[in-house]
Every structure is written in C-alpha cells, then in structure tokens.
Structure 1
Amino acid sequence: MTDSATPTGSAPEGADPEALRQRALAALLTARERTALLTDSVDDHELTAQHSPLMSPLVWDLAHIGNQEELWLLRAVAGREAMRPEIDGLYDAFEHPRATRPSLPLLAPAEARTYAAEVRGRALDVLDGAALDGGGPLVRSGFAFGMIAQHEQQHDETMLITHQLSSGTAVLTAPVPPAVTDAAGLPAEVLVPGGPFTMGTSTEPWALDNERPAHVRDVPGFFIDTTPVTCGAYQAFIEDGGYTERRWWRPGGWEMVREHELAAPLFWHRDAGRWLRRRFGVTEEVPANEPVLHVSWYEADAYARWAGRRLPTEAEWEKAARHDPASGRSRRYPWGDEDPSPELANLGQRHLRPAPAGAYPGGQSPCGVRQLIGDVWEWTSSDFLPHPGFSPFPYREYSEVFFGPDHKVLRGGSFAVDPVACRGTFRNWDLPVRRQIFSGFRTARDM
C-alpha cells in the first residue's frame, strides 16, 4: 500500500465538522485539566527543582506545552504573530538537553501559567473558526489540534514520571484498579496464526507520521504471553541470579548492570526478606500479580533469554493487538474500533499503577491476548525505523531524527497515557537503558 504518509485525505466518510470540533475541544480541555493537576499539586520550589538529570523541571514542561501550542495553532494554523518570540529557544527541546534546562532563564511558575492560559484562550478561538472539513493538511480533520492535545498528554506523562522520581511525600492519589476474577484460568500464552496483516494506518485522522502509511506485513505464526510479565515472575528471575549471570545479557546491558550495580527494577529494594517499591511517594510491598514496571529494554531482553523465550518484534506485537483472523482486517484496538473506555483498558492516569495481570477481559484481542493497551508500555525487540513509504509530517524532529538502531520500540501505552495518545498503531521509542519510564514487557516464542 502506498498511501501518502501525510494526513492529506478528507475527513473520515460522514464525519461531521462540528463533531470533529467537539472532539478536538474535549481532547484539549482534558489535557489541560491533567496539566493543572500535575503542576498545581506541588509548590513553586518543586516546580522549579530538577528531580533527575533525565527530566526537566516541571515548570519547563508547563511553558513548553504553551509554546508548542502557540507555534502550531496560533502561528502555523492561524498565521498570527508570535506572542513571545524571545522564549522560543528556551523551550526548544532539541536546543537544550534536559540536564541543562534548570540553568536557563525560564519563565517563573506564575508567568508560565499565565502564558499557557493566554495561548489556550486564543487557540480555542482558532478552533472555533477552523474549517475542519477542508483547508490544508494541518487543519483538515482537526489534525493540528489533535497533534497538540497528544503533545500535551505526552508531556503530562513525562511530568508524572518526574512525580515518581521525586523523593518528596505523596501528592497524587487514585483508586486501585479493578480486581481480576478469571486470571487463574487463563492460558500462559496464545497462538497468533501466521500470514499477512495490515500494519500502520492511512485513515486514522490524528495518527502521527511514524504510524503511517498502512502496509502489508507477512508475519509467521508465533506464541505470545497472554498478559504482561508480572512482578512475581520477574522476582523468580532475580532470585535465580538473573542480575549476576552474564550469559543472559547483551553487552550493553551487562555493562549497565555492572556500572550501576543493578539488582532489581528501578524503585525496588529488599527489606527483611520482602521486595518493596516506592510508588509516587508511598513505600509498599511489590504486588506479585501486577505487570512488572520500570525495567529497561536490556532487563526485559535478559529476562526473556532466561525464560527461554524472546521479546516480540514490533510487527508481531501489532498483529497480536489488531489482526482479526476471522475477518482478515486490522482493528483500531484489540477489542474493535470503538474508543477506549474504563471497562476496556487502564489509561489516563486513572489508577496510578498497572492493573493485575489478566484484567480487562473485554479489552482482549481476537486471539485472546489481554492488556495490550494501557497498564505498561511494552518493549519489543525492534529498532525504531520508518514504515515503508514514510514521509515526515509536519516536522522531521518528531520521528525521523530518532530512526535507527539506537532506539527500541515500545507499544501499547501505560496507565499514564491518555486515550488520545494511544492507538493500536501508536509507536513509542526510547533508549534501551531507560528505566524511569512506565515500561514493562511480555515475551514470545516461535511456533
């Protein structure tokens, strides 16, 4: 399939421009409510502090969100003059690495909030008058507004990671996820039959450039875990000397283990014979039935080798999540084409933790795989590479500059991801050493 990688087609057949406008408005408002929760829950000192050199101060993310919204919705879409051109460089993510951002003359918390609010007010006026059923590719189907909502939600997830890295007391609360009633009867793995399937998309109106275009992949049959690997299963790897046996590790992973003296996932520690973890300011016993969290690609790969299995490829993961063997078509989500709901997946920072393995039976794939969307980002074995026919849009720095063997692909989203930034085709990527992200994994094997 050779459809254009840019969203230049019409809005979906029968799409109502007013329905698109309301969808974009809801996505923008939901993102801003979450941004406010994450930034208003801490004082100015915590907003301006850097809790890890891997992360920006929260106040940088707050102003960056506003600056990107101004760049794309006010300047690119509406053609308006810059509100604060002198700050563009300060909030250019490529110009200043995270470790150096605290030394920049950043907007103070009150000024950052005022700037973001002023931009938002003007952006909503632009949305109100935009011709979403026509115009250029940025406006058509509300793409630019959806892109900005996704961008803000991605930074909200980043800010939630910063909250987790903070050594302070708990400031965020959430109810526990739903219980699982049939986990004991689930098979350990399911078969995904071999053959072609359609990977990627050319029709999802708010899909980002690296998800495009749709194309056919022929994937041999394979077995994949029914649920993500649990903390209990990962503890067995630890207790069997997983972090002390070089044979399970890639060279870069073994170097990481030795250099940092790793012995468990990030935020875990051993006390009186029990594994404990720190989660958003609270210390608690590691729950054996939850998907393991805060593991790097190297750790996931080492576990899979120890278990006599492997990580799934990205194509295998997407086939398990989207392919319906009965109809031969690829769904938007494992459960079908309808948008996510609380009954189908753990998304949107609703629970502040993964649900127990086997949760959300209504969200399983046609082959019976559960929790492919939400709970934990899942590492795959694949490098982050373009789909055949890829074309950058609307700027190279979103995806293209990251393509290559340095970054590994994660799929499926986590409890920290909002539904607007999570689809069956959505692709995330990171360095194989990263552990602070909300990452887990499941394993696979050949037939």
Structure 2
Amino acid sequence: MSETPESGPLLELSSQDLRAHVAGALTRARARSVALTDAVDDEDLIRQHSKLMSPLVWDLAHIGSQEEQWLVRDVGGREPLRPDIDDLYDAFQHPRADRPALPLLGPAEARAYLREVREKALDVLEKAPMSGRRLTESAFAFGMITQHEQQHDETMLATHQLRQGEPVLHAPEPPRAPSGRRPAEVLVPGGRFTMGTSAEPWALDNERPAHEVDVPAFVLDTTPVTCGAYLEFLDGGGYAEQRFWSAAGWAYRQGHDITAPRFWHREPDGWWRTRFGVREPIPLREPVVHVSYYEAEAYANWAGKRLPTEAEWEKAARFDPVSGRSRRFPWGDEEPAEAHANLGQRHLRPAEAGAYPAGQSPLGVRQLIGDVWEWTSTDFHGYPGFAAFPYREYSEVFFGPEYKVLRGGSFGTDAAAVRGTFRNWDYPIRRQIFAGFRCARDPRPGEVA
C-alpha cells in the first residue's frame, strides 16, 4: 500500500514555473478577498454581524499581517512594515467577540496595508530560493499563506451568510445531477491503506506523515445527506426524540432551542431558508448544510446508521482498490477542475446530490470534495509521528476531544485549500460553517464476501 509517489504538479515545476504558479495562486486568493470586501460598504466592513465572527475588516488586515510576518519578514528577511499591529491581528490574543472594540485599521488603511505587503511579498518571491530551508522548499511558505488567505475568504463568506440586508453576492447556479438511478450506498472493502501524506509539498503539519491504517469493511452513502432526507428526520420528530441524541447534543439542542438547521424557518406553506440574503424554499435535492455535529449524529442514529470515522472517510476518498494506492483526490492525482467538484465560490450553494460524476471515487462515491464539509466521528489529533511545523498554533494546540474533524471542503473552499488529505476541525456545536455530512454503517451479515 502506498500514497502518491514523490512527484506531482509542484515538484515537477522548474523554479521559474513554480514562482509563476505561486504568483497566480496568491493573485487568485487576493481577487477573492477583494471581491468579498468590496461587495459591501465601509459600515458593513466594520460591523460585527455575529459574535461568532470577526468584522470583515479584521479578517482583511489579518490576512495582510500573516503574509507580512511569514513572507516579508521570515522568508524575505525584510524590515517589519507594521510591527505595531502584530498583537491586534493575532487570532490567539483576542476572541472574535472582542475584536470590534480593538483599534483596528479602517477599511482604507487595511486595503493600503494589504497592497504594500503584497508588493513586497511578490518581490521576495522573485528573489527567494525555492530550496535550502523547509519553509521555502517547493515554496511551502507561499503555499501556506495562499491557503491561509483562502481559508479566511471562506470565513468571510460565512460572515456574508450571517449579515442582514439585501443580497450582495451573486454567482451562477451549480450543475444539476445527471438523471438515472445510482446506488445509495457502496461497500468499502476492509484492509490497510495509506492515510495522510509525506509527499504533498503544500500539505500542512496535521496531514503528515503518511501512515498505514487498517480499516474494517464498511458501507458508505454515495452522496451527502440531502435536505429532503433531513426534512423527513425533522418532520418525523427527530428534534424532539432524546433517544437519537448524545447527552451533550441533547443538552445543547435544549439549551439553545435548536429545532432545525440554521437559517431554516417554517412558513405556512412549508420550510424555507435564507441563503446570502435570498429567501427560498428548501431545495430537497441539495445536501443539507449549516448543521452541527450533534445534529448530524442525531440524524445518523435516526436513520439506523452512524457518521464515518475520519479514516473511513479518507479511505473512501483516496483508496484505489485496483492499484492499492492512495490517490491525491477521489478522481485521481490531477488538480481539481470545474468538472470534478463544486469549489472556489464559483457557486453560492451546494450542487444537487449526485452531481459531478467526473469527480467520483473508484468505488462510485460522489462529492467527497466540495459542496459541503462533512462531519466525521473522529476527535482532532495528530497522526503517529506528528511534528508541529512551522508553529504549534496552527494545529497542535487544538488537539483533543473538544474538536471534531471535518473533511472534503465546501462550495466556499478554494482548490488550493483542500485535497484528499486535508483536515478541518471545529467545535461540534458549530452551525454557521458550510457543513453537512454523509452516513456510514457496519456491513450486515452476507454483505462482505
């Protein structure tokens, strides 16, 4: 059993082509940051739309601060531009609820700061070696900053979902699912596979190192759970039946009077939702989104199933039963294209369950990448041999039972910030993120040869 060999798009590039690739990735991320913040006025940028989120202007300057610290100061060895704001934009220094009270850079000042930092970062890119240090090998630091900005872009997109007012973001509809019947479940054979990576140049520390895991046979849904299926759970009294919920989930549901996915509301003519300022009937064929881990777990119990473990999810997404190798993505090793997955905010909603047949795994599982983050039953922890890099605060300080792992990315995740090994994590109560789930179960007698 092995993962992708020590090769791939980045490792095959010359230094000149690698620099061009990095510049393109940085430019794409910045264009998205600009679009998300230019869509609203300065008052909206400064306002805190929810105590769960920072004001958009904080995210904007924080993006610049991280880029300055890692690319301009560390990789480039340049003099600090704004050391006076380091503490203001340190995410560990100030909880999100407290950030509006800080002396933050205003919108114009934040934008000017980002432009100055980017100019210097691109100059560093032209001159910095692409080897010699682990931080610069294959432009890792530039990849880390690209992913960081795209992650904050998704956070800002979630803030847009929480804001009140008329719609300001617009995008075309995602593709429809092809017609025809598809299996609802697939048997994933038991055995060992390679989980994680030691080969992916821009993989982050919690994805490393590659290691073999023995996963018993299991059955997995071929698509995420849809709004229509979830509505059956809701209308069937799922939120009122304690037996479907864990003790912690039931206490949270009761304490916060949770009776449906976030942004859903019941009208005389049925269930509706609000999506980026648009009110619309619940789309029954789309994957359900904005549900907590506790809600996903309760649904799975109601359905007589369970949530997959993280190892099960990754095996379904990466394992090729023909070659015995772990792929980079469900469809193979090539970078995501529009035909593979709903990524990058090209659309402002999940695609119908069963869409993107070109992106399915060898076993026929679809939409493992994109559309909705998928809750797993696994607590966030380091892999055997984990080593924090380049700083403990990226992953290690979050290890433990407080956080659950999510996999696969959402329609708001950029391709640079997701892959078959990428790991996200959050509190099991979180509902503002673009999270859904799919179910798994143990095989029944006779299902495994």
TM-score between the two structures when normalised by the length of structure 1: 0.97
1:257 Cα offset (Å): 1.2
Whether 2:182 is the aligned partner of 1:181: answer no
User: Is the 1:10–1:140 contact (alpha carbons within 8 Å) kept by the matching residues of 2?
Assistant: no
Amino acid in the other structure paired with 2:53: M
Cα distance in 2, alignment partners of residues 329 and 28 from structure 1? 31
Amino acid in the other structure paired with 2:112: T
1:81 Cα offset (Å): 1.6
Cα distance in 2, alignment partners of residues 273 and 201 from structure 1? 50
Partner in structure 2 of residue 159 of structure 1:
156
User: Is the 2:10–2:18 contact (alpha carbons within 8 Å) kept by the matching residues of 1?
Assistant: no
Partner in structure 2 of residue 105 of structure 1:
103
* 2:94 pairs with one of 92, 96, 102: 96
* 1:124 pairs with one of 99, 105, 122: 122
* 2:389 pairs with one of 393, 400, 404: 393
1:176 is paired with a residue whose SS is coil
User: Is the 1:249–1:301 contact (alpha carbons within 8 Å) kept by the matching residues of 2?
Assistant: yes
**Where does 1:29-428 land on structure 2 (aligned, <5 Å)?**
29-132=27-130, 134-182=131-179, 184-428=180-424
2:45 is paired with a residue whose SS is helix
1:261 is paired with a residue whose SS is coil
Cα distance in 2, alignment partners of residues 137 and 328 from structure 1? 30
Distance change >3 Å, CA 86–CA 10, structure 1 → 2: farther
Q: Can you list the C-alpha shifts for 1:315-374, whole angstroms capped at 9, x where unaligned?
A: 000000000000000000000000001101000000110000000000000010000000
1:14 Cα offset (Å): 4.0
Distance change >3 Å, CA 287–CA 137, structure 1 → 2: same
Amino acid in the other structure paired with 1:245: E
Cα distance in 2, alignment partners of residues 9 and 239 from structure 1? 50
1:185 is paired with a residue whose SS is coil
1:17 Cα offset (Å): 1.4
User: Is the 1:335–1:363 contact (alpha carbons within 8 Å) kept by the matching residues of 2?
Assistant: yes
Q: Can you list the C-alpha shifts for 1:15-36, whole angstroms capped at 9, x where unaligned?
A: 3112211111111000000000
User: Is the 1:11–1:141 contact (alpha carbons within 8 Å) kept by the matching residues of 2?
Assistant: no
Cα distance in 1, alignment partners of residues 272 and 22 from structure 2? 41
Distance change >3 Å, CA 374–CA 314, structure 1 → 2: same
Distance change >3 Å, CA 151–CA 367, structure 1 → 2: same
Distance change >3 Å, CA 437–CA 10, structure 1 → 2: closer
2:220 is paired with a residue whose SS is strand
2:30 is paired with a residue whose SS is helix
Q: Can you list the C-alpha shifts for 1:16-57, whole angstroms capped at 9, x where unaligned?
A: 112211111111000000000000110000000000000000
1:93 is paired with a residue whose SS is coil
User: Is the 1:47–1:58 contact (alpha carbons within 8 Å) kept by the matching residues of 2?
Assistant: yes
Q: Could you list the runs of 5+ residues in structure 2 that have no partner in the other structure?
A: 444-449
1:71 Cα offset (Å): 0.3
Cα distance in 1, alignment partners of residues 11 and 88 from structure 2? 41
Aligned length: 441
1:273 Cα offset (Å): 3.4
Cα distance in 1, alignment partners of residues 326 and 267 from structure 2? 47
1:260 Cα offset (Å): 1.5
User: Is the 1:150–1:420 contact (alpha carbons within 8 Å) kept by the matching residues of 2?
Assistant: yes
1:135 Cα offset (Å): 1.7
User: Is the 2:11–2:138 contact (alpha carbons within 8 Å) kept by the matching residues of 1?
Assistant: no
Q: Can you list the C-alpha shifts for 1:267-308, whole angstroms capped at 9, x where unaligned?
A: 000101311000000000010000000000000000000000
How high is the sequence identity, in percent, across the aligned residues? 67
Q: Can you list the C-alpha shifts for 1:60-98, whole angstroms capped at 9, x where unaligned?
A: 000000000000001110111211111000000000000
1:120 Cα offset (Å): 0.3
User: Is the 1:11–1:140 contact (alpha carbons within 8 Å) kept by the matching residues of 2?
Assistant: no
TM-score between the two structures when normalised by the length of structure 2: 0.96
Distance change >3 Å, CA 86–CA 230, structure 1 → 2: same
Runs of 4+ aligned structure 1 residues displaced above 3 Å come to 8-15
1:105 Cα offset (Å): 0.2
Amino acid in the other structure paired with 1:230: T
Cα distance in 1, alignment partners of residues 88 and 400 from structure 2? 28
Amino acid in the other structure paired with 1:333: F
User: Is the 1:12–1:203 contact (alpha carbons within 8 Å) kept by the matching residues of 2?
Assistant: no
Amino acid in the other structure paired with 1:106: L
Distance change >3 Å, CA 388–CA 430, structure 1 → 2: same
Cα distance in 2, alignment partners of residues 320 and 14 from structure 1? 27
User: Is the 2:154–2:413 contact (alpha carbons within 8 Å) kept by the matching residues of 1?
Assistant: yes
User: Is the 2:59–2:156 contact (alpha carbons within 8 Å) kept by the matching residues of 1?
Assistant: yes
**RMSD of aligned alpha carbons:** 1.6
Cα distance in 2, alignment partners of residues 285 and 333 from structure 1? 33
2:424 is paired with a residue whose SS is strand
